[in-house]
Structure 1
Amino acid sequence: MATAAIPADSLQAPHWEWQYLDLMRRIWEHGDKRIDRTGVGTRAVFGAQIRFDLAGGAMPLITTKRVYWKTAVREFLWFLTGETNIRPLVLQGVKIWNEWPHANYVKATGEAIALDDFVARIAEDAAFAARWGDLGPVYGKQWVDWPTYEPAGEGLFRAGPGINQVAQVVHSLRTNPGSRRHIVEGWNVAELDQMALPPCHKTYQFGVTDGRLNCLLYQRSCDVALGLPFNLIGAALFTHMLAQQCDLAPGELVWMGGDTHLYLNHADLVEAQLARTPQGSARLELQRRPGSICEYRFEDFVMHDYAPQAPLSAPVAV
């Protein structure tokens, strides 16, 4: 990947975040202009890569704008529960999934309710949330409860036990670290139409090298300005947690993007961020080692030395 934005007189190894900024610049200046599913329009490239060393608790937090890592932790822990309703997130003040159920409610009922009012109803009314806050079988549902079916006789089938892919990966890393099958997959073709949004960060593969746990995340579709900073955090959290659970050291995170894009209405954010210079680095400390990967609590995650520049905002395309 080109690194033209790196100062020519730099005497130190370039900050990892130049990979992110150079990708952003490449897309904005040379990407293919498209009309996308949302109707907003994008500039996009196909195929991109970012690499980051997680050794010593390092975390790939963007420093050229503030990224709300606590939100990313809460979302990731929500994935591990297999939950698909936004209410647990709403009650924690996490807003990143609110637009999809809101849009569905407005379309289904014709009621022009404001987003904030809809979210307030989700928080206050459990029955309303049960009906209108569900996202379908997204992410965590596939990760920890992938559906199976078994013969019921006379050509019929019934639901079988769900497959916990995360638990399987923990077991395989502990018992067969050299395997090439340490994979967590979210792309369940049979259930895509039931999902509010088909999985973007769809495939996680883990590999062990000299006692270090590496992660490769393939993302089919990536909103570089708003989504990618959170996707990097999520993959890093996943790796740090698995490494701790399996008595391994964190290794390298390799992120790969398919359709990698910037929305046309993110121009102000992109131009402001490209004018900034990365600085500093963050480090994660896990406060305890719970009995299983599904038993981590938000309080277990402490972030050190994260001193980002001012926030930059842009609208979410739904």
Structure 2
Amino acid sequence: MKAYIDIGRRILDEGVWISNTRTGQKTLTVIGATFEHDLSDGTVPVVTTKKLFWKSAIAEMLGYLRGYSSAAQFRALGCNTWNANANDNKAWLGNPHRLGKDDMGLCYGVIGRAFPGIEDDKPLDQYKKIVTDLSNGIDDRREIMTFNHPNLTHRACLPACMHTHHFNLLGDDLYIESYQRSSDFALGQPFNHLQVAFLLLITAQITGKKASIMRHHLSNVHLYENQVEIFKNQQINREPMALPSLKINPNIKSLEDLETWVTMEDFELVNYKHHEAIKYPFTI
């Protein structure tokens, strides 16, 4: 929480106003920030200066790991974050590649689980390759899953913001370095930070490794103009609380388990104490 507040103050103190043609809103922006958290102590980095709807954050990452391409699939998991981008994004609604209601196109998990091949090459299941390698104690320094395909961004309702995850194995200790091109700091960032932690924890569990340190690297970090006063006058002045822990059903032992029967009932955020929720505007 201290790191989150420090970066928030940096945005308010040093941020530069930038116009955004896609959203039609200005953002108060800084470039470059990193979160680091050691998951081996049992805690997870969950924002406490407001209520985080943490199940939706985990459901979204689970949907990515399943390769979901429809907002309806995410809704079935209890995650509504893709409804607007799939169905209310004017640019996407007019895109000839859109398949219809709720279609998200080729973004996030679709690329992560089936990165398109070249000519006759089969699509690469990046996450399955990582899980297989780590389960066998292999780290070739290329245990990378990207949700970004630069030549196919026109076929996605939204190019991936948190686009790449790099796993590293030292003995039985598993690390992750995650990279994010664009950080909606007030609304999206708390989601994304927990998602990195969850990705490391669940990957460690199904590969038989121990979750160690996560680092979450942000590039363009911003507050939208309709968020700045709310963030400055409410959230940043609240006193942080102790971090909770995430309990994961120990019966989740494989990638196949993740792909088939796992639901949000298999996760519990223990001792999560927080301030009341803050309603930030969502910008499409």
Query: Same-fold call, TM > 0.5?
Result: yes
Name the residue aligned to 1:31. Answer: 15
How far apart are the structure 2 equivalents of 1:62 and 1:222? Answer: 15
How far apart are the structure 1 equivalents of 2:85 and 2:35? Answer: 28
Select 2:157's aligned residue among 196, 206, 210.
196
Give the 3 Å change call, closer, same or farther, for CA 257–106 of structure 1 in structure 2: closer
Q: Note the residue ranges of structure 2 that are not aligned, 5 or more in a row.
A: none
> 1:1-318 counterparts in 2 under 5 A?
17-37=1-21, 38-104=23-89, 108=93, 131-151=100-120, 160-271=121-232, 272-296=234-258, 297-298=262-263, 299-318=265-284
Residue identity opposite 1:57 in structure 2: G
The RMSD of aligned alpha carbons is: 2.0
Whether the aligned pair in 2 keeps the contact of 1:58 and 1:283 (CA below 8 Å) is yes
Give the 3 Å change call, closer, same or farther, for CA 145–253 of structure 1 in structure 2: same
SS state at 1:150 partner: coil
Aligned residue pairs total: 275
How far apart are the structure 2 equivalents of 1:148 and 1:131? Answer: 25
Report deviation, 1:284: 1.0
How far apart are the structure 2 equivalents of 1:289 and 1:214? Answer: 22
Give the 3 Å change call, closer, same or farther, for CA 72–251 of structure 1 in structure 2: same
Q: Note the residue ranges of structure 1 that are not aligned, 5 or more in a row.
A: 1-16, 110-128, 152-159
1:56-96, Cα deviation, whole Å (9 max, x unpaired): 43211100001111111211111112111101223444221
Report deviation, 1:207: 1.0
SS state at 2:119 partner: strand
Residue identity opposite 1:94 in structure 2: C
How far apart are the structure 1 equivalents of 2:78 and 2:62? Answer: 14
Report deviation, 1:291: 4.3
Query: Which has the larger Rg?
Result: 1
SS state at 1:142 partner: helix
Give the 3 Å change call, closer, same or farther, for CA 43–210 of structure 1 in structure 2: same
SS state at 2:88 partner: helix
How far apart are the structure 2 equivalents of 1:163 and 1:274? Answer: 43
How far apart are the structure 1 equivalents of 2:91 and 2:145? Answer: 34
Whether the aligned pair in 1 keeps the contact of 2:205 and 2:253 (CA below 8 Å) is no
Name the residue aligned to 1:122. Answer: none
Give the 3 Å change call, closer, same or farther, for CA 245–274 of structure 1 in structure 2: same
Whether the aligned pair in 2 keeps the contact of 1:49 and 1:254 (CA below 8 Å) is yes
SS state at 1:59 partner: coil
How far apart are the structure 1 equivalents of 2:91 and 2:123? Answer: 33
1:198-245, Cα deviation, whole Å (9 max, x unpaired): 011011011123421111111011111111111111111110011112
Q: What is the percent sequence identity of the aligned residues?
A: 28
How far apart are the structure 2 equivalents of 1:32 and 1:252? Answer: 31
How far apart are the structure 2 equivalents of 1:218 and 1:107? Answer: 25
Residue identity opposite 2:43 in structure 1: A
How far apart are the structure 2 equivalents of 1:20 and 1:136? Answer: 32
Whether the aligned pair in 1 keeps the contact of 2:113 and 2:125 (CA below 8 Å) is yes
Whether the aligned pair in 2 keeps the contact of 1:56 and 1:283 (CA below 8 Å) is no
SS state at 1:132 partner: coil
Give the 3 Å change call, closer, same or farther, for CA 178–145 of structure 1 in structure 2: closer
Whether the aligned pair in 2 keeps the contact of 1:177 and 1:207 (CA below 8 Å) is no
Report deviation, 1:179: 2.6
Give the 3 Å change call, closer, same or farther, for CA 289–182 of structure 1 in structure 2: farther
